[in-house]
Structure 1
Amino acid sequence: MSVSLWCEEEEGQSQAQEQDSARGEAMLRARWDPSVSGQRVVQRLLQLEERYLPSPLYIALVQREPQRREELAKWALEVCCDCSLDEAVFPLCVSLLDRYLSATLSLPVSPYCLAAACVLIASKLTESHNVSADALCAAAEHSFPPSSLREMERVVLGTLRWDTAAVTPQDFIPHFLPAFERRTEGDTGALVSTLRRHGDTLVAMCVCESRFLGAPPSLLAAAALDCALRGLGHRGAERPAHSTLARLCQADEVVLQCYSELIDAALTQRLGSGPQSNREEKEGDMEDERAGTPTDMREIDF
């Protein structure tokens, strides 16, 4: 009796999942178990995170030409947002992408097919109802068929030897947040919820940025939470929380401060390149061109 390890969707399964989503079917999630938290779990994650870091050669090559990698990462982020996938899907997807490219050092003929395959694998590992292959093909404007996507999925799994449950910054954030509950005063529930939301956003930005490639996930998670806490302006808890985060991720406080400042700089750069900045640049250009604008409508060549 032959046994296949390939996870192949049955015919009509994708349509059934889309119909369930259209009906608004609630997804059941287990509650957070305090017994699976604590220093013991963090220590185990710290031991595993180095196993899933990309090679130094790949990091050096990407730093020389980061545009292609950032383009694929941003496309994967848009797909995860459009398909309403869990926050943990995107960092795991980019981790799979970096590890595959680190092992092969070459892009396939269809890079977006590779990114879609990584989204598909990460969705299967993280969610109970994974995203369908048809939805990923539609997100890529049908530049590749579902059969090519499933074949690329097999290639990625074979290259990574099915070792796909990588450690990401999202795995550390739930274990770092209890430190704020013990050291802050007032409505800690609202603060922790806001920190989790801002931390997830900053982690997604760091995953997209090639400048953070190769940084330990624990350090990125701690720096994102530290940056979020300072951004919220919560006085009285910044220094104790900073020291606690450095101790939890087993990093020097100066290194943690350096990465927090890098995240601040990256966030400022992204906000500065938004629509408001573009509009101000256009208004500045219009001011410079007003001196040469013809005053008579007959001088304008339509």
Structure 2
Amino acid sequence: MQTDDRGVSLWCEETDEDYRDQAALGTGAPGGQLRAAWDPSVSGRRVIQRLLHVEERYAPSPLYVGLIQQEPQRREELAKWTLEVCCDCGCDEAVFPLSVSLMDRFLSVTLSTPVLPYCLAAACVLIASKLSECDNITSNALCAAAEYNFLPANLREMERVVLATLRWDTAAVTPQDFLPHFLASLGERNEEDSTTLRRHSDTLATLCACDSRFLGASPSLVAAASLNCAFRGLGNREHSRLHPLSSTLADLCQADPVVLQYYSEMIEHALRQRLSNRPADKGDEFEDERAGTPTDMREIDF
């Protein structure tokens, strides 16, 4: 930013070299994009209350939830494929949960799977990427990920169908929207601990997005339960501190502490199931262990 005798100029003089330096230091987003620093002024109870009010607007219908939970295979297959595509293409962490939310909301309205289901999942990834990233994923990359079972023209048409069905209301609230605000409200001052907790709880929230048993839970409850499991799974906090933390999380998401505990145990059970699906030489050692939180999504066999 330049300054002169007349005051402050808004002319920015960042160069490509500055962006490369940021990427080398690990302070930039994937692909060399720069991220804004966390602003404490946009956190706190007021923001959480607003998110809690808005999240109800994007909940799938109870009818859809009931139908999917009776036969969850196809929906979970699409969610796992969506996660694989987002990971392989290096998408921002916000893309996957928003993609699944868009897909669930579309299916909640139509109550029928389109002829090209993977085209629907890819269209939701494309929309979410456009909302969340500066350099969005391309239609050609999505077609290649689906082994060209559909063409870019099919993808663009499906994108228009999804947008029309949802009336262009696509900026849904996801569990990942709550996580930084919950962490800030808990007062975790150690930056390294906060980063680790955020990464682990994001992994668990992603696990929930792939599991249809959590489809009827609100994003705030999933976020609070994931963070609660992350606190317990890391094992670096005294037992006497865990109960107050759980109570605070229940208060933040406006849920009964018993309900929060129930969903936390559901997440741990789901995690144990995923870990037990590993190859036999690794699966046996996890069978009788208490659930922990892996470093990232790549350590869970989705």
Give, in whole Å, the separation in 2 of the partners of 1:110 and 1:170: 28
Shift of 1:180: 3.7
User: What's the counterpart of residue 294 of structure 1?
Assistant: none
Matches within 5 A, 1:90-169: 90-169=96-175
CA distance in 1, matches of 2:161, 2:74: 20
Q: Which residue of 2 aligns with 1:66?
A: 72
SS in 2 for 1:196: helix
Of 189, 192, 201, the residue aligned with 1:190 is 192
- Identify the residue that residue 291 of structure 2 maps to in structure 1: none
Q: Which residue of 1 aligns with 2:214?
A: 212
**Which one-letter code corresponds to 1:217 in the other structure?**
P
Query: 1:276 offset after TM fit, Å?
Result: 3.0
Cα offset, 1:277, TM superposition: 6.0
CA-CA distance at 1:251 after TM superposition? 0.7
Provide the secondary structure at the position in 1 that maps to 2:149.
Answer: coil
* 1:40-71: CA deviation from partner (whole Å, max 9, x where unpaired): 11001000111101001101110111000000
Q: Which runs of structure 2 are paired with 1:32-111 in the superposition (5 Å)?
A: 32-111=38-117
Larger radius of gyration: 1
TM-score (norm 2): 0.81
The gaps in structure 2 that reach 5 residues or longer are 1-29, 285-302
Query: Cα–Cα, structure 1 residues 157 and 77, in superposed 2: closer, same or farther, change >3 Å?
Result: same
**Alpha-carbon offset, residue 179 of structure 1:** 3.4
Cα pair 2:43 2:184 within 8 Å, conserved? no
Is 1:238 matched with 2:215?
no
1:120–1:130 contact (8 Å) kept in structure 2: yes
> Are positions 1:250 and 2:258 aligned together?
no
Residue 271 of structure 2 is matched in structure 1 by: 267
Partner SS state of residue 177, structure 1: helix
Give the aligned CA root-mean-square deviation in angstroms: 1.6
Alpha carbons of structure 1 residues 250 and 279: separation in structure 2 relative to 1, 3 Å: closer
- Give the Cα separation in 2 of the matches to 1:29 and 1:72: 30
SS in 1 for 2:170: coil
- Cα 1:62–1:49, aligned 2, differ >3 Å: closer, same or farther? same
Q: Distance in 2 between matches of 1:103 and 1:124?
A: 22
Superimposed CA distance per residue, residues 165-193 of structure 1 (whole angstroms, 9 cap, x where no aligned partner): 000001000100123435xxxx7211111
CA contact (8 A) 1:180 1:192 kept: no
| Counterparts of 1:59 and 1:279, CA distance in 2 | 31
Cα deviations across residues 112-151 of structure 1 (Å, max 9, x unaligned)? 0000000000000111110000000000001100011000
| Identical residues among aligned pairs (%) | 68
Letter in 2 for 1:209: D
**Distance of 1:47 and 1:112 partners within structure 2:** 32
Query: Which stretch of the first structure deviates more once superposed, 187-196 or 136-145?
Result: 187-196
Match of 2:226 among 217, 224, 227: 224
Letter in 2 for 1:245: L
1:25: Cα distance to partner?
4.8
Partners of 1:47 and 1:277 in 2: CA distance: 47
Name the TM-score, length of structure 1 as normaliser.
0.81
Q: CA deviation at 1:31?
A: 1.3
The higher-RCO structure (CA 8 Å, 6+ apart) is 1
Q: CA deviation at 1:234?
A: 2.4
TM-aligned CA distance change 1:67 to 1:116, over 3 Å: same
2:235 maps to a residue whose letter is G
Which residue identity is paired with 1:260? S
Q: Distance in 2 between matches of 1:119 and 1:215?
A: 22
Instruction: Tell me the distance in 1 between the aligned counterparts of 2:280 and 2:87.
Output: 23
- Which residue in the other structure is 1:3 paired with? none
